[in-house]
Each structure stands twice: as C-alpha cells, then as structure tokens.
A and B are shown apart, each in its own frame.
Chain A
Amino acid sequence: MKRWLLLVLIITLILPASAFAKRKKYEVVDVENGGSIVGTIKAAEMVADPMGKIETEVPEETKLCGGEFKMNKYIISADLGVKNVIVALKKVAKGKAMPKQDLTLDNKDCQFHPLVSIAYKGSQFVIHNSDPIFHNTSLGLMMKGKRSTVYNLALPIQNTTIKKPVRRTGMISVKCDSHKWMRAYVYAAKNPYVAVTDKNGKFEITDILPGTYKVMVWHEGFGEVDKTVEVKAGQATTMDHTFTKP
C-alpha cells in the first residue's frame, strides 16, 4: 500500500504546477486577528470646486438639467480632508470574503449618482435611469486618457433598470455619450480591501492578513499615487497622504 502513497505524493507535487499556472485568483480564507489600515487623505491647500456647464440643443433637456451645476470634484473639509478618494490594496493574494454588494448607478437630474464608488467582482452593476430623457451608460476601464469599454447600455426610458455582472476590474470611468458633462468613477475591485474617503477625508480598511501591501490612492482631480504599507496582526497601521496641487 505504501508505494501508492508515494505515487500520490509525487503526482500531487507535479500536477499543481501545470493546473494552477494560468490564472491568479483571489483566495478567500478565514482572517483571525487581522490588521487594519486607517488614515486621512488631505489636500495641501484649499482648492475651489469648479462649476460644470450643460450644453444641449434639446429643449426638454435644458429645462430638466439647467445650465450650470456644482461639479463636486473637490469636496474638501475645513481641515483639508478630501472626500471621494479611492484607497485600494493592490495584488492581494488572499483574505476575507468579497462582500455581496451590488452597486446602483443612477442617472438622475442629468448626473450620475454616486459620483465615486466601489463595485465588487462577482456582484452586479444596477444601472437605473430616473430621468424622463434618453441616457446611455457607458463604463470603460481607464487607460492613460483612453478607455476600454466594459459595458455600453441604452436606457432611453424613465425608470429603466439594467443589471450586469462586475467582471473586469480596475478604475472605470462612466459616461453618457449623449450628455458630455455626465461623469462618474467606479473602482471595480477584485479583492474586498477598498474604501472611499468620507467628507473628512477619512477611511478604514479592516481584517487584512499581516504583510506588506501596495496601496493605490486615487482622486479625480489630484490623480493617483501608490504607497507601501506594512500591516501587523491585530494592529491598526496609519497611512495618511497629502495631495499637493492638482
């Protein structure tokens, strides 16, 4: 019987190399006594939030959308905390389970809501049109000023809802081909260690396995930086960042 044991041992040692070489997938494990990353993302100085312009030749749109809107590009608190910054751990091999949490993107009053958000691989995009006008919602992975279409969906009728699975991951820009001013950003995550800063620029990412991680910090106006953070078991590591001028 023992020779079978050895045979099994040899085969199991050889097989995985070929069977698992192809794709790197996120592995879900129990995280006990994990660490966390907390921090505040700030601006070096106050930046004025620009106004957006609505230009359309369709009269019913002018009536619905108005002429100008607050862009909410720079939402900065009195102590310079920046809202709507995405903080995401990159290349995480394993950790806690992905949340089952769909992302609703609404076309409302000629804007996308929310402006900045997170979607999780395996969950769904729920795309809705609350407006009585035509919208199309085009999601595209951001690629150095260009994009790679993820979905382009027509929602011509008020209260249409379309659900699509979150498959491709990375920073996504959302646009509407018929309303140039409309925009939103979604980080489609392949691991659950992602956060969006609140109105004080604060974020918290919990239950991380100890180790050294690369962390992406992204903002629509300030741009993107990568940081390196060491996470220790049962401890909170502080990771702050201050953006200088956009």
Chain B
Amino acid sequence: MNLFRPWALFSALALFVLLMPPFAVAQDDEDAAYEALIKKGKQYYDINCRICHGAKGDGKGFVDVIRYAEKNGRVIETFPRDFTFGVYKFRAASTGCLPSPEDLQRTIKTGIDRSFMPPQEKISDEELRGVAEYVMTFSARFEEEDLCDVITAAKPDYVGSDKSIKKGIEVYKRMKCFECHGDDGKGNGPKANEIVDDWGKKILPFNFVAGNLKRGSSAENIYMTFTTGLDGSGMPSYEDSLTEEERWNLVSFTLKLMGLTEEGGKEH
C-alpha cells in the first residue's frame, strides 16, 4: 500500500534515472556509428556501384546485359547482380547461407573476373565496411537470419600431385561434372544449354580454359566452390556428397584443366 508514497516513487524514479542512461547511451552510440557507416557506404555506392546495381540494389541501373565472346565463339551474358534476393555465390558458408560481411567485402575489394565487376583498389577500410553493410540493407534476409558457421580451406600438400590429379579425374567422372562442364572441361557437356539462374536467365557452365574463375583461381577458392556451391546458379554444393579429400583431388584436376600446374591465377 506504500507503493505510491512520495518517497517510494521518488527513490524508484531516481534509481531508474541513474541506472538506465548508460544502457540507453551505449545503444545510441552503436546506432549512431552504424548510421554513419551506412551513410558512408551509400555515398560510395551511389558513386561507384549504383550505375550498374541500381538505386534500389535490384540490378536495374543504367547498365543492363553485358555480352562478350569467348575464344571458342561462345557468347556469355552477364547482368549486374540483384541484391534484393540476398542470394550470393561467393560465401565461406554452406549452400543456403548468407554471406558474411567479410565475404561481401572480399568480392567488392577484389572484383570479379570475366564479369565486368571491377576491383575497388583504392577503397578505404571504412568505405569497404560501409558498402558491404549498405548492400545488406537491400535484402530483409540479413535482418531475419543468423549467419552460418564459417568454412575454412587449408590446402593439403598433395594438391597438384600426379596421384591427386588422377584421383580427381575419377571424381570428375563419378560426380558427373562432365555433364555440364564437358569431358575436356570446356563447358560443353550435354546439359550445358539447359541451365537458368534464379532470375530465369540462361547461364553457361564454366569453360576451364577461358580464363580465371569468378571466385578466383587459387586452390582454396576452387575448393570453396565445390563445398559451398554457387547459390543462384546451377552449380550445386558437394559438401555432403564428397569427402574433403575427394574435393581437394578434384581441385588438383581442375588446376590441371586450367593449365595452372600447382596454384596460380589471381588471388581472390
């Protein structure tokens, strides 16, 4: 019954005022820092990314399709990525998972070979974090879902050895990689012309003699592609259907197909 006595109310309010502000201030600081980062990211995006990826991040900027012909005459069509789906090929996480901020930062910084996504060599660390954070705001997935465990790739010594290449050839056959990528890896298998991406656009399997892989051509990057798949494209994940050793042997054979004896290409 004494709850509403002046002293009780007063001391409760006094305690409340004393206790709450630190929490509130800490939260405000965090929010303000995030807002500043997003602002910085948007600034950079509007100048450097928006022309292709659009103001809404839906890939509908001023640049639409980009076509180029490979040496063998095959025409590749590339569209600026639509960020509103929250689906990304290059992640250090299983199929179905979101990319981490680090995954996005890596792609922004290094660019994507054969796709007209240029590297951002002069971007500052703060801008890089800001752009990655800003790109995430285009899809609600980043608010709704938690990040998955990070997958790491530690290249074993045998990668690139003759024995490993031989085992890799066997994996390539058994896993039916040739159905899309062709017997000689030129992207001309019997299923090569049937594949569409998440946006309903026709896509072609990689021709291993046509240059660098989009993710990068290091042994680790090739291993990552087999493990995580390239979500949104036709390339599935082999994380559950191949052992790590089988995947590394397949890396050996892939490097051989690409003419990269041990490890090479552009590091991504």
Contact = CB atoms under 8 A, between A and B. Distances in A.
A170 to B, nearest CB: 11
Contact of B11 (A3, A56, A134, A145): A3
A100 interface: no
Interface in A48-91: 56-58
Nearest to A129: B241
Interface in B176-204: 176, 179-180, 190-191, 194-195, 198-200
Nearest to A161: B240
Interface in A32-48: none
Nearest to A165: B96
Interface stretch (A148-156, A210-218, A237-245): A148-156
Contacts of B241: 153-157, 160, 162
A140 B198 contact: yes
Interface in A1-23: 2-3, 5-7, 10-11, 14, 18, 22-23
B86 interface: yes
The bracket for how many chain B residues form the interface is: 35 or more
A163 B27 CA distance: 39
Interface in B215-268: 229-238, 240-241
A63 to B, nearest CB: 15
Contacts of B238: 154
B175 interface: yes
A162 B236 contact: no
A58 B2 CA distance: 86
Given A177-B194, A178-B191, A2 B236 contact: no
23 contacts: A3-B11, A5-B3, A6-B3, A7-B15, A10-B12, A10-B13, A11-B16, A18-B27, A140-B198, A145-B200, A146-B200, A149-B95, A149-B96, A149-B232, A153-B241, A154-B236, A154-B238, A168-B141, A177-B191, A177-B195, A178-B176, A178-B191, A180-B194
Interface of B: 2-3, 7-9, 11-13, 15-16, 20, 27, 85-87, 95-96, 141, 143-145, 174-176, 179-180, 190-191, 194-195, 198-200, 229-238, 240-241
Closest 9 CB pairs of A and B: A134-B176, A177-B234, A154-B236, A57-B190, A136-B236, A148-B85, A149-B231, A162-B240, A6-B12
